[in-house]
Structure 1
Amino acid sequence: MPKYTATRIDEEVDIRLNDTNNKFEPTTMCKMFLNTAAKYSSIPALHYKKNGEWASYSWKEYEEKAKQFAKSLISLGFQAHDTVSISGFNSTEWFISYIGCILAGGASTGVYTTNGAQACKYVCNNSVARVVVCDGIKQLEKFMSIADQLPALKALVVWNASLPENVECAVPIYDFDAFLTIGNEIPDSTVDERIANQRPGHCASLIYTSGTTGNPKGVMLSHDNFTYTLRAVTSQFQNNLFDNTERVISYLPLSHIAGQILDIGIQIYFGLHIYFAEPDALKGSLGKTMKEVHPTFFLGVPRVYEKISEKMVEVGRGSKGIKKAIASWARRVGAQKVAMSQFHESGGKPCGYDLAKAIVFDKVRVALGLEKCKAFYSGAAPLSPEVIAFFSSLDIPIYEAMGLSETTAISFFNYPHMWKQNCLGHFLVGTNVKIDPENSELLIRGRHVMMGYINNEEGTAQALDDEGFLHTGDCASLDSDGFGYITGRLKELIITAGGENVPPVLIENVIKEELPLLGNVMVIGDKRKFLSAIFTLRVTVDEHGEPTDKLDNEAKYLLSQIGSEATTVGDAIVDPKIKVYLDSGLKRANARATSRAQNVQKYIFVTKDFSVPGGELTPTLKIKRNVVAKMYEAEIDAMYVV
């Protein structure tokens, strides 16, 4: 009897082969990495900044350092199927630790840098971490404070920091470079044996879910989950889109599956070049890195595209006369071109496209550092139709992709030759997909579906049914071409007092489209007589990512259009002009609702925008609805007082 699921990290699962996925021979991450390292030995692999200038490690150096890391783990008594936790911004040390752990026969675990000490303690104990590798003194101090509560821990390793002197800790602390030397006495053959003993059905990585409710679950992903997904998703690109000359900027959190599959996974499959962004990439420096690197493939979370579009709109407002007219004409042409390139459309170029490209589109790409980019992708959360339309008007189609940690990052994927706007894409090749007729839940089965949740038999049994289908928790629909559309989350569905099922995310997105002044919207109404909402305004953030009370430039511009001089949240909340603006926009949003039960009848402002540091958002920027509801319980109840 085949065994396709597991909850213990030392278990092996069978590979779920069928007629549509068996052309990809099961293999391990180790073999894929070593084959690529041998093929491109002298070619740069990891590019990083040193004293303000770009430097690099070749594939040979990358392999050597990863093997050194593996030897050092083994010298500490690290066994096959043990784990290493890594917490820090994307760097050579992150990659070396991750691959080194796998070469030693273990499984790597990313820990979000935004996690507090107790959340870190939970992840490390749940995964039985033997070594923690961390970035900087702040992260080190956090793990030092809980080291005595981690019975399996053997060492802390830190990069990007000087070791503190005369500090007591429950385990030894090593500088990263020094750690690489402690296993020098371990023979190469010991690492080779660990590599040879690994099977495609063994666990390679643990991804901890965001934990919107309760403790996060540790998703066990096998070697085959990774190596199959990498080959399956890229096999559908036409014209050999990827090769070892591609340039990718690494900036998305590597604790998240999207960063691991793109930055680490696709690199070791194709041998392409990784450039590490600055730690403040999402606070403004990413644009500078893009202009230096000229990436050939770009994946951005929605907020990245939103920031780019906001800045470009702000700059464009200064255009006057003929310059503005030309830009408007070109954008109409660009939107036509992108629309024509969709699946089942005519393709080709609209009249005037070549001229528009030469005088507008090419210059925009050069200004962004994206003139070499072959494809633009968005993932992790839905991208608003407004932002998609903006980039389309500049002849930049943004292809959306959708996946879960439990599906190794990919469930649906758009391709330049096979895509639809405002759509998740086509389901992954070799995948069985169906929609539950009773509740519209998306069910997925395939080689990319996880082994199970570590040390969590109940959660695994709830997620994976007897037929091997993953119950995603997403409500979805499929069109006749196999393209997917998410309509909501089962656990987020609001069931009103009248028994109506309401998907809040769709309503929230419509409200934000009609009211671009808003930063976040959360719809409320479970077991209530009507729907209400919490609104936050667009504001700036400080150097720590904390929202301020100052409205951002886009908010101030929007307010100037309605005659408001508000510059802070406090000013805005009491301004009657803003009340009129919000009421009018909400009325338009309600007019787009599918039923009257989905109309939002009341709303409140909260003075602080939602954020990761504030606890209202997960690291992947999903609203923690239970947290927000608890924070504003009194204000919410007041909306329902008759």
Structure 2
Amino acid sequence: MITPDEEKAADQLENSVASSPQESMAQTTREDLSHAGLKHVEGKSASSSLAPSHSLWTSDASGSVHLRIEEGCPEEPITVHQMFNASVEKYGNMHALASKKNNTWEKITFLEYYQFCRRAAKSFIKLGLERFHGVAILGFNSAEWFFSAVGAVMAGGIMTGIYATNSPEACQYVASDSKANIIVVENQKQLDKILQVCDRLPHLKAIVQYSERVQQKISNLFSWEEFMELGLDVSDEQLDDVISSQRANQCCVLIYTSGTTGKPKGVMLSHDNITWTASNASRAGDMQPADCKQESLVSYLPLSHIAAQIYDLWTGIQWGELVYFAQPDALKGSLVTTLREVCPTSHMGVPRVWEKMMEKIREGISQCGYVKKKLIMWAMSVSLEANKKCMQKDEEKPFLFYLADSLVLQRLRAELGLSCCQKFFSGAAPISPETVQFFLGLNIRLYEAYGMSESTGPHFMSGPEAYKLPSCGKVVPGCRYKMANVDSEGTGEICFWGRNIFMGFLNMEDKTREALDEDGWLHSGDLGKVDEGGFLYITGRIKELIITAGGENVPPVPIEEAVKKELPIISNAMLIGDKRKFLSMLLTLKCCANAETMEPTEELSAEAVEFCRELGSQATNVSDIIEGRDKDVYQAIQEGIDRVNSAATSNAQRIQKWTILWKEFSVSGGELGPTMKLRRPVVLEMYHNVIEGLYQE
């Protein structure tokens, strides 16, 4: 039943868009909601929607915090349910989610999406989900993942994603720390992980499997169909009472860090963190509300990471986006096939995804005939030059650019499935200038987002109105920043403030105090500088700074990127030298990956083989180069490093020694995190003996 206030608000909405296509949709949605018997919870004002609080932070799952509401801030705090409620009113009959079943895309509307989430919430309540206890979700992106996430929040729990690549022990840590009452798993593979550790999960009450047939008869293990039937006898009133008790300054989501420097930390995000960021960060990226133009995207990145979760799940609800779910083997090669079918209007990738795409395109170009190859290279150089000039002078692009784009580049973008895409985002890790410039050559602007799990994702963003290379764009409107401990060159630690700043680390008061200073500013640990136009440039990370035995501070990332730019055969370059007399470097070569396991093989990639051929080397495997110390390849690498050294600001910043490792870094190998970010402490430990060998006299 709809309240009088909601009826009045809906009438006002109708009047404001009279004779628009949305008018009948809004009316139909209200009627559908009424017929469905769904009782909407009344909206609350900012003052009544907040739980009592005494601080800007807490480490208690049931705690509440002061919100960083600036004077004159127009957005009132709302819960996740209130955000969804408002979207169903506006977009109820529009398609929301699309899943591929039997080679056909099956779509559901926002109203159906909302109803499925309520059913999931009732089933969680039936299973005994306790307030502020976790619902852990372990598996690949799907509609069921979304229903579980939103349903967990509606039912008063805390939604907790677990990386699908986690070991059983890592799963156990997250589930135990979040006091998970229910764990939702994708398939038998993920179920097996939980079964190995369930005796160490005292809060666990049930497991739900959402894909594949349940193979085992185990008490409190439910198929998705069984799960969705469980809560049918839970009344709307009972669920609405739980929803009504929720406040915008309470925790609803946990994001676990990768734990590269210790135990993973549970980043507590409030309803307001989620709803405010979903609304404001997407505006900076020019995402459009569905009543203007419905955006579409493909969901494939890990939803346990804040970047994908904000982009796919919460922003999708906020603005009425149509989300297509990729196949589980998306990163093994099927992503482009899905992109071609869907033709999304917006696409996000972590840097390694864009790099892999770049490598695939280059491989395809290398196999073209002479004339076609020359035509593509010409078109890309015209596009790169035109895009660079437009950034500097904001002038009209020349006719030659439009000719190159229509004749060549449009077809290349279509082959990637990006022919209709207007917004391209990169986040979760720094992206190399080489990759950015390559895509500019395809007339694709990669908008870089910079932030942390602790800032609910993006705090700075590039976009159509804030684009300048090699910056991360400008601060998201409504957020603030300051630079701490600024040096003579204007470089300092980047600190964040805003409605997006997290509540605290779960059960870790000491770590929370380390992250937030006395005034509540979040210290990022990243070093950067801001130019006169407000554009942010990341220069390094405090914890990654190498301090040599001579006391020289060396930021590793610029040197590593320079080496990879000089040497197209190199996939990973990691600088070593903390407390050492000189710098050395670990290198890996670009290799093919096993199509099933995604583990790197010894076989060199097509680009790496071409690099060798141009030198006169016949190498096709890593062993061909290392075992025989291929003089052509080794000499070329040394010459590339010499060129990087020639640009060094001091002798202390020169690479004195280097070595090639036998295999590429990978997620499965442990050297890379789930978002392909280099795990430096892990690499240092794994290759300790190799590193020590570089420093033996």
Note if contact 1:510-1:589 (Cα within 8 Å) is conserved in structure 2.
yes
Q: What's the secondary structure of 1:249's corresponding residue?
A: strand
Note if contact 1:338-1:396 (Cα within 8 Å) is conserved in structure 2.
no
Q: How far did 1:364 drift? A: 2.0
Q: What's the secondary structure of 1:77's corresponding residue?
A: coil
Q: How far did 1:102 drift? A: 0.7
Structure 1 distance, partners of 2:369, 2:102, is 42
Structure 2 distance, partners of 1:369, 1:308, is 11
1:5 maps to a residue whose letter is W
Equivalent positions of 1:32-71 (< 5 A) are 32-71=83-122
1:582 maps to a residue whose letter is I
Structure 2 distance, partners of 1:144, 1:136, is 12
Structure 2 distance, partners of 1:498, 1:165, is 61
Q: What's the secondary structure of 2:302's corresponding residue?
A: coil
Structure 2 distance, partners of 1:417, 1:90, is 31
Question: Who is 2:526 aligned against?
Answer: 474
Equivalent positions of 1:171-186 (< 5 A) are 172-186=220-234
Q: How far did 1:324 drift? A: 4.3
Structure 1 distance, partners of 2:686, 2:361, is 36
Decide which of 617, 638, 644 is 1:583's aligned counterpart: 638
Equivalent positions of 1:328-339 (< 5 A) are 328-339=377-388
Task: Write out per-residue CA displacement over residues 185-214 of structure 1, whole angstroms, 9 at most, x where no aligned residue.
Answer: 110111111111111101121000011111
Question: Who is 1:571 aligned against?
Answer: 624
Q: How far did 1:318 drift? A: 4.2
Decide which of 392, 398, 410 is 2:440's aligned counterpart: 392
Decide which of 61, 67, 74 is 2:125's aligned counterpart: 74
Equivalent positions of 1:557-636 (< 5 A) are 557-573=610-626, 574-636=629-691
Question: Who is 1:446 aligned against?
Answer: 498
Change (3 A) 1:580 1:422: same
Structure 2 distance, partners of 1:241, 1:299, is 18
1:581 maps to a residue whose letter is A
Structure 2 distance, partners of 1:70, 1:392, is 45
Question: Who is 2:240 aligned against?
Answer: 192
Decide which of 494, 497, 504 is 2:556's aligned counterpart: 504
Does residue 513 (structure 1) correspond to residue 513 (structure 2)? The answer is: no
Note if contact 1:538-1:555 (Cα within 8 Å) is conserved in structure 2.
yes
TM-score (norm 1): 0.96
Structure 1 distance, partners of 2:336, 2:95, is 23
Structure 2 distance, partners of 1:431, 1:266, is 17
1:174 maps to a residue whose letter is F
Does residue 310 (structure 1) correspond to residue 359 (structure 2)? The answer is: yes
Q: What's the secondary structure of 2:229's corresponding residue?
A: coil
1:592 maps to a residue whose letter is A
TM-score (norm 2): 0.89
Question: Who is 2:255 aligned against?
Answer: 207
Tell which deviates more after alignment, 631-640 or 450-459: 631-640
Q: What's the secondary structure of 1:182's corresponding residue?
A: helix
Note if contact 2:481-2:497 (Cα within 8 Å) is conserved in structure 1.
yes
Q: What's the secondary structure of 1:506's corresponding residue?
A: helix
CA-based RMSD of the aligned residues comes to 1.7
Does residue 89 (structure 1) correspond to residue 175 (structure 2)? The answer is: no
Note if contact 2:59-2:506 (Cα within 8 Å) is conserved in structure 1.
yes
Q: What's the secondary structure of 1:184's corresponding residue?
A: helix
Q: How far did 1:319 drift? A: 4.5
Question: Who is 1:274 aligned against?
Answer: 323
Q: How far did 1:240 drift? A: 4.7
2:624 maps to a residue whose letter is D
Equivalent positions of 1:150-189 (< 5 A) are 150-167=201-218, 172-189=220-237
Does residue 437 (structure 1) correspond to residue 485 (structure 2)? The answer is: yes
Residue correspondences, number: 637
Note if contact 1:399-1:421 (Cα within 8 Å) is conserved in structure 2.
no
Equivalent positions of 1:98-177 (< 5 A) are 98-167=149-218, 172-177=220-225
Decide which of 248, 257, 267 is 2:297's aligned counterpart: 248
Note if contact 2:603-2:622 (Cα within 8 Å) is conserved in structure 1.
yes
Structure 2 distance, partners of 1:515, 1:51, is 44
Structure 2, unaligned runs of 5 or more: 1-52
Note if contact 2:289-2:321 (Cα within 8 Å) is conserved in structure 1.
no
Q: How far did 1:536 drift? A: 1.0
2:503 maps to a residue whose letter is M
Task: Write out per-residue CA displacement over residues 225-281 of structure 1, whole angstroms, 9 at most, x where no aligned residue.
Answer: 111112222334569576562111000100000111000011101111000001111
Change (3 A) 1:324 1:548: closer
Q: How far did 1:165 drift? A: 3.2
1:555 maps to a residue whose letter is A
Structure 2 distance, partners of 1:95, 1:81, is 19
Note if contact 2:483-2:493 (Cα within 8 Å) is conserved in structure 1.
yes
Note if contact 2:95-2:109 (Cα within 8 Å) is conserved in structure 1.
yes
Note if contact 2:289-2:295 (Cα within 8 Å) is conserved in structure 1.
no
Structure 2 distance, partners of 1:325, 1:241, is 41
Question: Who is 2:455 aligned against?
Answer: 407
Q: How far did 1:594 drift? A: 2.4
2:351 maps to a residue whose letter is P
2:342 maps to a residue whose letter is V
Structure 1, unaligned runs of 5 or more: none
Structure 2 distance, partners of 1:214, 1:121, is 16
Task: Write out per-residue CA displacement over residues 461-515 of structure 1, whole angstroms, 9 at most, x where no aligned residue.
Answer: 0000111111111111111111111111111111100001111122111111111
Q: Which runs of 4+ in 1 moved over 6 A?
A: none
Decide which of 537, 550, 565 is 2:603's aligned counterpart: 550
